[in-house]
Structure 1
Amino acid sequence: MTGDRNHEANGAKARRSTIRDVAAQAGVSVATVSRVLAGSHPVSEQLRAKVLRVVREVDYVTNAHAKSLAGAGQLSIAMLIGDITGASFAHAAKGVEQEAASRGSLTLVGSTDLDPAREAAMVNLMREQGAGAVILIGGASDLAEHQQRMARYAKSLNAAGSHLVLCGRPPLPPEVPAITVDYDNEGGAFAMTSHLLSAGHRRILILPGVEGYTTASIRLAGYTRALEAYGMSVEPDLVVHTTYEYGEGARAVRQALERGVEFTAVFAGSDVVAAGALEALRSAGLRVPEDVSLAGYDDIPLARDLTPKLTTVHVPYEEIGRSAARLALEREPGVRGEHKHVVLGTHVVVRQSVAPPPR
């Protein structure tokens, strides 16, 4: 009898958990579990956290859709973007879609709104739907927690025959079965700051991005390293954290001017932020680059449309997207390999918005 019970227990453990198992253990209806996983209907944060905790505990996934996709001979790629309105992310998404289409694969796009709980639900849903790969595009906050969360995603997707691909996010430990396609973010910021320093600027206002976010932290590190190479140190009043929105660039520069902060150049963490900074400088009666130089980051088409044309850091976003899709689709399904990390280069694009400081 003991052997039979052990056999039954092992069989139950091997059995794939169902949505009914999740509902029963969480004490909610099947419909509620579906709503939480889909993220399509509002539920309380407490209820959502409870359901997602049970999902992780029982490692819930269904492969019905995966079987149908496999039967059609077609893999899908799911792109999950923090902010779907971001211009740079849109170019990365374009690269993913183009590469996937050239290989006969479908591309699904979703927005996480930078919400970790929503991200977790969407990753699980894509795993449930049988996506061949899940690509997460954009930076992350709280690095330690992010590393743990990504490792869970990677192992869960790998167990289901899928892959996790990170774009523009910090790489994971070598033993985690995932792919990271990154760009030399710090090197780009170092090169641009060095370009401004070599032009004679010594007080450079930097707007690196959201404080505590990996993208901003790395760009600030590049800025700091360039200053140190010139025997200088960071002055706190010259560092202003913002989101990557147009209005934030204008607000940051306007407030710096109102506080009486002295600067001869502005290094914006994105071209969109640089455009907002340009508006604020002009509203204050300052000319670019005659009075204040201006630099951006990303090299999206907007950089060439501004007057003057914007000196910026080129990031190969479309190639990042193409590489992410190619590596995911070429990797053998279910392979329990180590973490693969690819880094693409960045470089300064010199245009018309930087000049020596006024004497």
Structure 2
Amino acid sequence: MPPSRRRATLATVAASAGVSVATVSKVLNGRSDVAPETRSLVLSLLEQHDYVAPPQRRGEAAPDTIEVEFDADLNAYSTEIVQGAVQAGADLDVAVVVSIRRNADRTGGWARDLVAAGRRALVAVTGELTAGQLTALARARLPLVVIDPLNLPRARVTSVGSTNFAGGMAATQHLLALGHRRVAYLGGPATAACNQARLHGYRAAMEAAGAPVPPGYVRTATFHYYDGVTGGAALLDLPEAPTAIFAGCDDIALGVLEAARARGLRVPEDLSIVGFDDTQIARMASPPLTTVRQPLREMGAVAVRTALRLAAGEQVESHHVELATELVVRGSTAPAAHTGG
């Protein structure tokens, strides 16, 4: 926001609407004793003036609050993120509110509503944010930190992730070391930064080993179980099917396990599978899943701590932080059954 542009007040909006400040306040607080026409006019002017309610003074409000926002239903991955964020909040005496808001729900008043609700900062997880939404957050002066962003419409958006490229290389090198040469990759959205890094790590390992990547051996969809089932089925039904599959997340890997089971294939005797994340489901799978561990709880904690620093007006050392990944070998991988694999 340009320095010359002053924050709109209730009085500004009331004067534009030709009503009292009390009436504007009633609209903001959702009171029912306002005529529908007046309510509609006031809401429209609040939008036009980019009105943001001032934060309540300490002592009048609940503890400092950060919102951790997901754009899809919670799963094993997001639960780990939440655990880390909530623990960091407890350590810092900050309340952490978890919400699910689809991209279509991030309307023009979304950022102002967050500020009016007392949020000091927003942590968005694996979301896809538009330039307009980033502008709305900037106008509301609401700091943003993104975890595993699906896109970065602005280079200076602060984000937290992991060493996805190194993790992708480690997963693929593990399979190559077991003698597999027909290794496929089944990942998430093609445009997701984390997916691209994992895929590049896979390709780098394959190229370094002189292992070809035949047509059809790389597939992308979403980071969901059902895409692991359908994508795994497509890979396993190829004329020359892979003997090993590197899945872009644990949910996808479990879908591949189901696709293999439906075809009478044994894991790991007939097919080796590596996931990514090391969520609880990786340890509960049958067989337990070899996977690349992301420090998901620490990623949630780092995002909360970074968001609080931004809210306090501090400068951060880097706009993107990557935490180290680690390959965890369990029972879903084994040596290739024959030298051709």
Q: Which residue is equivalent to 2:98?
A: 109
Distance 1:273 1:199 in 2: 22
Letter in 2 for 1:99: A
Compare the two structures and name the one with the higher helix fraction.
Answer: 1
Find out whether 1:59 has 2:42 as its counterpart: no
Structure 2, unaligned runs of 5 or more = 18-23, 29-42
Distance 2:110 2:73 in 1: 15
Distance 1:120 1:191 in 2: 43
Structure 1, unaligned runs of 5 or more = 1-11, 35-50
Q: Which residue is equivalent to 1:223?
A: 202
In the alignment, which of 124, 127, 138 is matched to residue 136 of structure 1?
124
**Secondary structure at the residue paired with 1:182?**
strand
The CA deviation at 1:287 is 0.8
In the alignment, which of 2, 6, 19 is matched to residue 14 of structure 1?
6
Q: Which residue is equivalent to 1:152?
A: 135
The CA deviation at 1:21 is 4.7
Distance change (3 Å), C-alpha of 1:350 and 1:151: same
The CA deviation at 1:121 is 4.8
Cα RMSD (Å) of the superposition?
3.4
Any conservation in 1 of the 2:76–2:281 contact (CA below 8 Å)? no
Distance 2:236 2:186 in 1: 14
**Secondary structure at the residue paired with 1:132?**
strand
Letter in 2 for 1:136: A
Q: Which residue is equivalent to 1:77?
A: 66
The CA deviation at 1:330 is 4.2
Distance 1:79 1:284 in 2: 40
The CA deviation at 1:59 is 3.3
Distance 2:10 2:114 in 1: 16
In the alignment, which of 317, 321, 344 is matched to residue 323 of structure 2?
344
Q: Which residue is equivalent to 2:114?
A: 126
Q: Which residue is equivalent to 1:309?
A: 288
**Secondary structure at the residue paired with 1:296?**
strand
Distance 1:331 1:213 in 2: 25
The CA deviation at 1:223 is 1.3
**Secondary structure at the residue paired with 1:294?**
strand
1:1-359 correspondence to structure 2 within 5 Å: 13-16=5-8, 21=13, 55=47, 58-63=49-54, 66-68=55-57, 71-72=60-61, 74-113=63-102, 115=103, 118=106, 121-140=109-128, 146=130, 148-149=131-132, 151-152=134-135, 155-157=138-140, 159=141, 162-169=142-149, 176=156, 179-331=158-310, 333-335=312-314, 340-359=319-338
Any conservation in 1 of the 2:309–2:315 contact (CA below 8 Å)? no
Distance change (3 Å), C-alpha of 1:20 and 1:154: closer
Q: Which residue is equivalent to 1:44?
A: none
Q: Which residue is equivalent to 1:38?
A: none
**Secondary structure at the residue paired with 2:56?**
helix
Any conservation in 2 of the 1:18–1:61 contact (CA below 8 Å)? no
**Secondary structure at the residue paired with 1:272?**
helix
Distance change (3 Å), C-alpha of 1:15 and 1:316: closer
Any conservation in 2 of the 1:139–1:213 contact (CA below 8 Å)? no
The CA deviation at 1:15 is 4.7
Distance 2:137 2:317 in 1: 11
Distance change (3 Å), C-alpha of 1:61 and 1:339: farther
Distance change (3 Å), C-alpha of 1:125 and 1:88: same
Any conservation in 2 of the 1:77–1:108 contact (CA below 8 Å)? yes
Q: What is the aligned-residue identity percentage?
A: 31
Any conservation in 1 of the 2:248–2:276 contact (CA below 8 Å)? yes
Letter in 2 for 1:71: E
257-266 or 307-316, which moves further after superposition? Answer: 257-266
The CA deviation at 1:245 is 2.1
The CA deviation at 1:107 is 1.5
Structure 1 runs (4+) deviating above 6 angstroms are 170-174
